[in-house]
A and B are shown apart, each in its own frame.
Chain A
Amino acid sequence: MTINKESGMAASILSAALMLPGVQAHAEAPPTNGVISVGYLDYRDSQSGLDRIKVHAPSVSIMAPVAGVWSVSGSLVKDDVSGASPRYHTAVSGASHMDDDRKAGDVALTRYLDRGSVTVGAAYSTEHDYVSRALSLQGSYESEDRNRTWTAGIGHSDDKIDPVNQIVTNERKRTTNFLLGVTQVLTANDVAQLTLGYDNGSGYFSDPYKAFDNRPRTRYETTLLARWNHHVAATDGTTRLTYRYYRDSFGVRGHTLGAEYVQPLSDGWTLTPEVRLYTQSAASFYYDPVYDSKLGAPFPPGYNGTGYMSADQRLSGFGAVTLGLKASKQIDKLWSVDAKVSAYQQRGSWRLFHQGSPGLDALRAQTIQIAVNRQW
């Protein structure tokens, strides 16, 4: 056989291969590939007979690759908050109305390296009585076989609190946090992750809008998070299980158990049901909404004007259940939409391990999130 004839043969194989349906040599690639996402969140919570807080939050987020090895991302969210603060525990008994405007933005810059990445991030959030600024640095490093990834991070936030009731002025809260994590591919279908977090905060932790709220000026928090993702070959779905342990120097101990199942369906649809169970013990200085027998409401039992105390229900002992369902659809190669509804309910009587606050009214919340994403 001559060389020319052979050459024609290899070429004929390639041209025959390119005639096969769905086989392309090169996809038509736009020169850059970013994502813009427009979302809307509707949150409302309630206690029996009372609609409390409603939040409407449109958001825009954007991601753009820069020069191959860098990428920049950022987001903007503007919340409208309106509603009544939790009953029983506000300085003004009954449903005091609050109206607030939160503007928040963050930006992150990532540099991709040979076997890892470094991300520097900054975030800014402001309400009319609260300004928060944060900086973070995070790095990841992959093992040679790429089955193990180490992650380490450090962050610092500086918050400024200037409540309108001027119970305090120009208060600060500074928090430094550290994070250490490892992600390990266990089998073809299993990935596990362990993350340890430590937060060291000092400053004003009290709630200026709650009566007799006096909390320690330091707070140490430790979090242990374990995740396990498993691909179910039979259904082609993925289960995601998480367990989170939390403890802090206020005496709060929390356990969270979460489960999600991601099921891809035909035509670009994906359905993700999720359930989350949470239980926590009360802070050591939390008091139930019962009042001193002599002084009466709103004075806590044994009130003598000193000592740490708070009746914030977030520091009470309670249990909570979240049920959610997310549906997403890839419409075409550029557009996708997703929607998520979730319902949350919190009850003192659902606590599992510690003393709770059985007298507290149940808190319910519903969240609806919709987002439209487009690649560009």
Chain B
Amino acid sequence: MVDAIHRILFDAMGSRCEIRLAAPDGDSAQQLMHRAVDEVRRIEHKYSRYRADSVVSRINAAAGSKAVAVDSETADLFGYAAALYGASGGLFDITSGVLRKAWDFRQPRVPPAAVLEPLLALVGWHNVECGVFEVYLRKAGMEIDFGGFGKEYAADRAATLLAQAGVRHGYVNLGGDMRFIGPRMDGRPWAIGIQDPREPDGVLATINVSEGALATSGDYERFFELDGQRYCHILDPRDGMPVRYWRSVSVLAPVAVAAGSCSTITMLKQRDGLDFLNASDMAYLAVNGEGQMLYRDLI
């Protein structure tokens, strides 16, 4: 009958995921956690670009030929993508995923211009027509994906669902994109380690978080090094080249979608990212190319 913290680990969206929450007994904890996991999997199935039957795959398959009907949730996600494109000065573009075709991070090879240019021609949010009920990609070969904020959206949805079910203590962690429901049972914050971008097992800092969200983008998830230069998976949609300047950017925001988007935009803005972070109201911890830590409002 006494609340205790329960925990579930699972794999979803290509990441290790974890939910911790306080519940009166194991049964109700399982029930709550499974509802949250179900919600994460629902979003994964609906929007995964690896599933031929997902909304995203159907929109991409119809690029250049016809508009695809979408439901209101999908239309809202396109609305958010439009806001990100505008707020990032065109750097956060959900059509830029097609550039991945030029980059195979398992082999240290920079793609030649002849490979990048035809793909760059397919990048461009202005070629996405999204209405209230349908979406149309104007050019054949264009692709959109929600990989840039899908995990964060799922973390927010799962956490909101749990909070509405009465959970007051716990968090949802989808591969490092974390949304907090409330502090530990004794009221103290959770101590969350920030991954060291150059040491896979190292922790750079520990941040105390009770509510809101924490998301990190970095140059260390997928990359190769060639002639002393690191080439990471975050690609500038203007030239198709990996961004440089930051090793990692962690942002604390009221919701995970906003935290993840702001950390990714900072990576994409490279040197100008610091102005963007400082102008935002959000707490952050960023590590630049020299390994220097810059932070605000963390302690």
Contacts and interface: CB of A to CB of B under 8 A. Distances in A.
Nearest to A26: B211
Nearest to B261: A13
Interface size class of A (residues with CB under 8 A): 35 or more
A336 B29 CA distance: 13
A33 B164 CA distance: 12
Given A19-B80, A21-B73, A63-B2, A10 B280 contact: yes
A14 B11 contact: no
Contacts of A270: 27, 30-31, 34
A336 B28 contact: yes
Nearest to A73: B1
Contacts of B147: none
Contacts of B261: 13, 17
Given A12-B87, A68-B185, A238-B30, A7 B24 contact: no
A3 B279 contact: yes
B257 interface: yes
23 contacts: A1-B275, A3-B279, A4-B279, A5-B279, A7-B281, A9-B88, A9-B276, A10-B282, A13-B265, A14-B254, A16-B87, A17-B258, A22-B161, A26-B254, A29-B168, A35-B1, A71-B185, A73-B2, A114-B186, A264-B34, A270-B27, A270-B31, A270-B34
Contacts of B10: 188-189, 231, 233
Interface in A9-58: 9-14, 16-27, 29, 33, 35
A264 B87 CA distance: 41
Interface residues of B, number: 67
Contact of A33 (B4, B168, B272): B168
A1 B1 contact: no
A65 B255 contact: no
B267 to A, nearest CB: 14
B253 interface: yes
A90 to B, nearest CB: 36
Interface stretch (A160-168, A247-255, A326-334): A326-334
A188 B163 contact: no
Contacts of B89: 1
Nearest to A140: B4
A214 interface: no
Contacts, number: 175
A262 interface: yes
Given A14-B254, A63-B24, A262-B30, A20 B276 contact: no
A13 B182 CA distance: 23
Given A10-B282, A27-B160, A262-B30, A71 B3 contact: yes
Contacts of A75: 1
B299 interface: no
B280 A68 contact: no
Contacts of B184: 112
Contacts of A108: 1-2
- Tell me which of A17, A117, A328 has the highest count of chain B C-beta atoms within 10 A of its own C-beta: A17
B77 interface: yes
Interface of A: 1, 3-7, 9-14, 16-27, 29, 33, 35, 61, 63, 65, 68-69, 71, 73-75, 108, 110, 112-114, 117, 119, 146, 185, 188-189, 231, 233, 236, 238, 262, 264, 268, 270, 272, 328, 330, 333-334, 336, 375
B16 A188 contact: yes
Interface string B2-32: 1110011111000010000000100110110
A165 B75 CA distance: 78
A16 B84 contact: yes
B87 A17 contact: no
B249 to A, nearest CB: 13
Interface in B105-162: 153, 156-157, 160-161
A238 to B, nearest CB: 6
Contact of A23 (B72, B153, B262): B153
Given A20-B77, A238-B30, A13 B35 contact: no
B156 to A, nearest CB: 4
B294 interface: no
A268 B276 contact: no
Nearest to A338: B27
Given A10-B276, A117-B4, A236 B211 contact: no
